[in-house]
Chain A
């Protein structure tokens, strides 16, 4: 893991999304904000990386090939219950938000999103984790 300028362990976000454009966008924005970024292209990858590299949090898409984001989240939470997971999905109806929270998501980010919202959600978790 990369070290932050002040020496503390860098806050790392695993971005799990099958859409390359989304991957790139998140990576660009979060890195620019000073976070470490890991990328997973489907659910299984997300689970593997999450368990292997223990990111500070996960930004999880839902509609992915293989196992979907919710299943990946379930598996990860089974192993690491404290892992903060934010569902970032284009399923953006109100009922979807409830569904995701009920499935165990720590927060929900609807796509498309404003960049400030993405940063704000990650920052919240980063602050919570550092306190």
Chain B
């Protein structure tokens, strides 16, 4: 059967487990086991007289000489007693037989020969009948034959016996070896009866169970098992006893008397006993190391599993701590995520680990703990502490596994944080994209719309499809045109910055909006623009407001410019007016002073009085003109509408001017059909006399002033023409402006208020007429004005009645 060999075959024996002195001792103590050796087939004692090297040479010689001595004795007796040879023969035969049974063929034949010779000697000596001799010869031959045959037979028998001995010896050696092996085996072995009571226990098993071999003998395999595994072991023993199973294997925990629980791989098998009573072979190997290795592996795998499945450290930590606790047999696990936490918890071990960044363990009878750092890129970010109320050492492999786990968890924290940040960022961006009130478009490198957010679609009143195929390409074109106008890079040329342009875009409903488009390119990992984000804002209201503002601003600017011009004009006006007044006053004041101081001739006094009067009159006119103009311009001028004969006014003007002026000739060409018109007579006289005075003033000596009137459609056309110096072309557009005359060098010698033509124009226009001038330098000027003729025209007069 060879059971020990078969069993030992799958148990790994540990080197150096047994002390070198033990084998001999084991061999002697286990001697008794032979009884149970099934293959042995019985007792194999040492045969006496078979010891090859133990007989002395003397004894061999004695043994060999003895048969010959016996034959000689028989011969002597035969000779002396003279018996019949036949009588001596059985004696000879007996000797030969004995020798041939024990000795080899040569010795047997020698003895037989000697006996035959002894048998022959007597007949030969007696000289008896030949019959006796013949009988003696026959007997001798028989002796030789017997010797030969018996010797051969006995040699074979001895050879067989010798072979048997050799085999038995070999068997004994093998058993010896086996026992030594078993005694020195690291695996625990025992024999027990079918109730599981140990009968034989090897030292290894005794060591595993923490009891003496003697103590164990008689104890039950169930008894040494930890409480929780006892039913399993008892059940197994029962099964084997009943023959339901031939063998049983299992992982159980054995309970040592010192309280330490030892994990054990248990194997039990039924053996046929030597006396027909079967026995139980029990094999137990200490699985502490292999189980710890398994546990470490399981723990590491569990940690990795949790890390892989968890979104972050917080949800993962309870599972991680549980994995450490359950796989490694710790009672409690705690994670400190900050040094402060470790310190405030009064946890010196954790604080030390924070400090050192290395795993540390404390072993005490009351409490054992191990703490290891969670390391993220070289920095301690947390400490995991495992503790147990029992004494528990941390083996090197466990320590290194925990350290590795700390690093893995650290990397996991980093990954989880990164992933969390990514998720948050992604969620933020998605929310911005979806909820932003600003339209956002994700656009590919070719300008095609990849995605438009709800705001954009809503803003432009398009669905995603019509947006992509219709509205967006239009907007892209508008964008490029607008960008090109602004000298910015076009969309397709590659947007790199926050280019912002405003474009007009049609909504799906057909209204037009102003859209502000701001493009920002988003680079891929190589920095190449991957796609472009375009923010689209409806700036229609802003734009319209700003357009209106711009218009208003422009108007304002113009108004300000006007005001400034007015201001300048006013300053100039004041400057001119004061100059005019002071010039007039110079004469008045100077001559008055002369008169006052007295001592003048009466003629002088008269003349000076004339100068004073003229200048005073001029001052008066100036004031009157200014007030008139101001009233006309401010709309406060009062005119009295009445029937007016224009020809009459013209004639009077000529008459007046002729009296005052002798150097100029007056002509008139008046249309007698000219009807009476409605107007303010005094003002119209003012107009005509102004024009006539002007004409006179600018006419050289001997010049002609011509007054004409005629009907021209619905208007009376009146002209005053002189043959004077004329008005330069650059001045002709300004003749009706205030004080223009004064600013114009050529006519400065002509006295006047500089307000006459301005007043004339105002009066004509207030009557619903028009005034203009034609002139050629050196040839003279013609001033024309019209007056409406029709009653309806008169009604249209812009005259103001009191």
Q: Interface on A for B, CB 8 Å cutoff?
A: 18-19, 21-22, 24-25, 28-29, 41-42, 63-66, 68, 90-93, 110-115
Contacts and interface: CB of A to CB of B under 8 A. Distances in A.
A112 B593 CA distance: 11
B587 A115 contact: no
B615 A21 contact: yes
B745 interface: yes
Contacts of A29: 590, 594
Nearest to B587: A21
B748 A91 contact: no
A63 B583 CA distance: 10
A112 B587 CA distance: 8
Interface SS of A by simple majority: loop
A25 B590 contact: yes
Contacts of B582: 90, 92, 110-112
Interface in B675-714: none
Nearest to A61: B583
Contact of A92 (B578, B587, B589): B578
Nearest to A92: B582
Given A21-B587, A112-B590, 12 more contacts: A19-B586, A22-B583, A22-B590, A25-B611, A41-B749, A63-B748, A65-B748, A66-B748, A90-B578, A93-B575, A113-B590, A115-B590
Nearest to A66: B745
B585 interface: yes
Interface residue range, chain B: 20 to 34
A41 B748 CA distance: 11
Contacts of A41: 749
B621 to A, nearest CB: 15
A22 B582 CA distance: 11
Nearest to B588: A112
Q: Across the A-B interface, give the 9 residue pairs with the lowest CB-CB distance, nearest first.
A: A21-B587, A90-B582, A65-B748, A112-B589, A25-B590, A112-B586, A65-B749, A111-B586, A90-B583
B749 A24 contact: no
B747 interface: yes
A115 B594 contact: yes
B40 interface: no
- Most chain B beta carbons < 10 A, residue from A24, A65, A112: A112
B28 interface: no
B594 A90 contact: no
B670 to A, nearest CB: 35
Nearest to A28: B594
A21 B611 contact: yes
A25 B595 CA distance: 12
B579 interface: yes
A18 B745 CA distance: 12
A113 B592 CA distance: 12
A82 B634 CA distance: 52
The winner among A21, A63, A92, A113 for most chain B CB atoms within 10 A is A21
Contacts of B579: 63, 90-91
Contacts of B620: none
B736 interface: no
Contacts of B587: 19, 21-22, 25
Contacts of A114: 589, 593
A28 B748 CA distance: 25
Contacts of B586: 19, 21-22, 25, 90, 111-113
